[in-house]
Every structure is written in C-alpha cells, then in structure tokens.
Amino acid sequence: MSSWNSDVDLSGKNSLGFKVTAERYLQVDSIESLRIALYEVEQNNWPLLILGGGSNLVLKDYLPGAVISVATQGVHVLVDNESEAIVEVGAGENWHGFVGQLLQMGLHGLENLALIPGNVGAAPVQNIGAYGVELADCFHSLTAYDRKSGELVQLSKEQCQFGYRDSIFKSKEPGRYIIWQVRFSLSSVFQPNLSYKGLQEYLSSIGVREPNAHDVYKAVCEIRQSKLPTPSEIGNAGSFFENPVVPEAEYHRIKQDYPSLVAYPDRESHYKLAAGWLIDQAGWKGHCSGSVGVYDKQALVLVNHGGGSCTELLDLAKEIQDSVLDKFGVSLQMEPRVYPV
C-alpha cells in the first residue's frame, strides 16, 4: 500500500496559483513505489494526473482520484568525447536548474531554453521551445514507465514523434508513458542560435557581437524577465494559446486587411501567425475580468491576479477565442491542458 496524502492543497504546485485540492497525492522516487501506486490506481479505477511543476496545466478546484509527482533526481554524464556528450537527468529535476548546470559543465545546446518553468520530465511532453530552439534539437532518448505493458521502456527521438510543441506524450498516446529519466546529446563546442530577432537585437543593444554561451543564457533570462510575468508574483501558465499555422492563401487574405500582421513562413505553403499579435489587435492586452486577465506586456499570457478560478479563466479564454475568430477568421487552440476535462 502506498502512503497517499489525502485532500492535498495544490495551490503552490500550479503556476496559475489556483486553489486546487487533490483527493490523493503521492510523490514517487523509485520505480517500486511507482509500480505499487499505479497498481492501486488501476485496481480502484482512479483518474490519474502526473504532475510536474504545474506550469502547463489549468487545474479545476477539485481533482478526484490520484495525483502523482515524479521526483527522480540526478544529472549524470554517460558519454563525453570530442564529438558529443550524453547527459542523463532525472524527471524530477527543475528544468531551468538543469540548463544552468549544463552551462557550468561547459555542455551546450539548451541555452535558448533557459528560464522555462517546470520539471525535466514534462519538457518532452510538449517538446518545449523558445527563441528558435526546441528540446528535440538536443534530445537523445528517454526512459519511461509504460502503463500499457507495465514495463520500463527506452524511447528514441523517432519514437517520441516530436512536432511543434507536440510529442507522442501529448497528442498520440496521452497518459500511457510516465517519463522517468531523459537523455540529451550536447556539445562542448558552443554554436549560438540567434535566429530570433529579439535575441539578436538584445545582444547588439548591450554591445555583444560574438556571444558566448553565458551571454546567450543571460540574454534569454533578461528578455524573459522583462516580458513575462513571474508565476510566484502573478499566476500564469505561459502562452495560453498556440500560434496558429494557416495555409498561405489565408495568410495573404489576413495580411491584405492587416498589413502589420506578424507571421513567419512555416512548413510548405503555410504561415505561423503570432497569436499574441492577433489577441492584442482584438483589443485584449491588459484587459481585466474580475481576478483574471490578459498580461499587459504580452497578450498571449492570461493571468490570475489573485483569487481567480479555472472557470473565470476559461470564460475569458472563450471570449478571446470568439473575438479573434470574429475579427480574423482564425481559430485559437489552448496550449495548456485543462484537468479534469
């Protein structure tokens, strides 16, 4: 029998800062304790949420069934030679802490992903990305518990089916795998990725022409701190909507009416529209609706000013979706997962 904690307050474990109670909660740090807990979950048919840092979730007031957090720790170098280093990290490690540790170790590739909240175990779920880099760029493989077979499995990059903010864990087989350890393929040679204008401009503005890894890491942290709300101060779940990818003809239709449209060429004959720009143009930036609202420095981020609830936030999200659809004919999809559905 696992020692579940009952009626646990998860207010401090979701970045929106909602008052949420879990019927049962357990932190696991060994496969044996995970197996025992899952046996009970299955025997009792409890709904199950695997919770990381709670920064990509919109949680309702009460979570029936079970909530499990994976607490595996540790950063280990498995291979280190001239061409690459393979590093294995526990799913329970904090993502930003891990990126900082790699910097100290002189291993490169993930600098542009600094300051993304949450745990390492959740990072492959939506193939986290920022400033032109995504997790898949440095991903080697992972170890996960497969609830279907009851076995620990190793999944390669191909098996994870990474896409734009997507993976097998998010869309194809949600709930099947519990990620335990993740391995990254890194390099001791730093090659900056400055494909995002904002990052390049920031570095130029502070007089850095040939940035090293520390410069890029620091710049990403500073830009993010200036544009995004810190969850411990203002509750939020990062970007609330995905950037819609539309066919070229639709892009031209919108661009004709709105020449300042912010968009980037995407896969063949498609464009990625900046969802934040659409929401801003629809007049929502800085809007407040009771305790929730739209962040005044980045319209893609919905915030909880304190005391807000999931219902209030989802009502606001629906109003935004309707108004963007009405104005631009574009449908916005939510990025964070609402739980329970």
Residue from 204, 55, 187, 162 nearest 111 by CA: 187
Is 90 a binder of ligand FAD (CB under 6 A)?
A: no
- CB nearer to ligand FAD: give 26 or 123: 123
Footprint of ligand NAP (CB under 6 A)? 129-131, 195-198, 227-228, 238-239, 243, 264, 274, 276, 298, 300, 335
Residue 313 is inside which H or E element, if any?
A: helix 310-328
State which residue, 5 or 204, has the beta carbon closest to ligand NAP: 204
Phi, psi for residue 246 in degrees, rounded to 5: -125, 155
| Active-site hit among 24, 165, 183, 309 | 165
Question: Distance between CA 217 and CA 114 in Å, rounded?
Answer: 6
Active site residue 210: no
Catalytic annotation present for 23: no
Tell me which of 88, 93, 111, 335 is the catalytic residue. 335
The reply to whether 239 belongs to the active site is yes
The residues, any chain, with a CB within 8 Å of residue 303's CB and separated by 6 or more, are 229, 234, 235, 236, 292, 293, 294, 295
**Inter-CA distances, 64 with 44, 47, 158, 250, Å:** 12, 7, 34, 43
Task: Candidates 28-36, 44-52, 257-265, 268-276: pick the segment binding ligand FAD (CB under 6 A).
Answer: 44-52
Beta-bridge partner residues of 80: 85
167 to 206, contacts with ligand FAD by CB under 6 A?
169, 177-179
Establish if 118 lies at the interface with ligand FAD (CB under 6 A): yes
Amino acid at 133: V
Q: Looking at beta carbons only, is 51 or 66 nearer to ligand NAP?
A: 51
Nearest approach in angstroms of CB 311 to ligand FAD is 19
Nearer Cβ to ligand FAD (44/230): 230
Check binding of 235 to ligand FAD (CB under 6 A).
no
Of 237, 302, 303, 332, the one binding ligand FAD by CB under 6 A: 237
The sign of the dihedral angle between the CA atoms of 246, 285, 128, 124 is negative
Q: How many CB atoms lie within 10 A of CB 329?
A: 12
Of 20 and 254, which has the nearer Cβ to ligand FAD? Answer: 20
What's the N-to-C CA distance of the chain in angstroms?
A: 28
CA angle 140-141-147, nearest 5°? 165
Q: Residue 25 Cβ, how far from ligand FAD at the closest point, in Å?
A: 13
Q: Which stretch binds ligand FAD (CB under 6 A): 35-43, 53-61, 78-86, 246-254?
A: 53-61
Residues with a known catalytic role: 165, 239, 335
